Amino acid sequence: MIALTWLGVAVMTAGVVFLALGGLGLVRMPDTYTRIQAGTKATTLGTILSLFGAALIMPGWSIKLLLIALFLMFTNPLSSQVLARAAHRAGVPATDKTKADALADDQEGLA
């Protein structure tokens, strides 16, 4: 029982580390798209690990926490994709480091 609690604490801590790195990524990344990237990935794994840690500490909550994790895994990438698409349609510029933009190239062809 105690071992499971400590394992839960360790897993939750790992989740918090990923969430913190995601936050750091938001500050450090140069443009909208790379910020969305840092935000999406780190928060998804960070939140899943936090929920998993909570499930280890309180096994009775497992099913609910699993459902929350599933819901998150479906909605988080969707919202990120919609944000990125909206940014691109609104003409938000990418960083100068960007090598190519196939979407912008194809749009010129259509216009």
Partner 1 sequence: MSDTFAPAKLFATMFVFWLLLNGALQLDVIVVGLLVAGGITYFFAGSLSFLSGYRVSVASAKATAGYLAFFFTELVRANLAMAWLVLDPALPMTPAIVKVRTRLQHPVARLLLANSITLTPGTLSVELRGEWIYVHWVVAQTTDPEAATEAIVAGFEKYLEVMYD
Residues that bind partner 1 (CB under 8 A): 18, 21-22, 24-25, 28-31, 33-34, 36-38, 40-42, 44-46, 63-64, 67, 73-74, 76-78, 80-81, 84-85, 88, 94-95, 97-104, 106
> Nearest approach, Cβ of 34 to partner 1 (angstroms)?
6
Written as six digits, the tokens of 55 are 């499930």
Dihedral sign from CA coordinates of 67, 17, 45, 25:
positive
Supply angle C-alpha 70, 48, 38, rounded to 5. Answer: 105
> Nearest approach, Cβ of 88 to partner 1 (angstroms)?
6
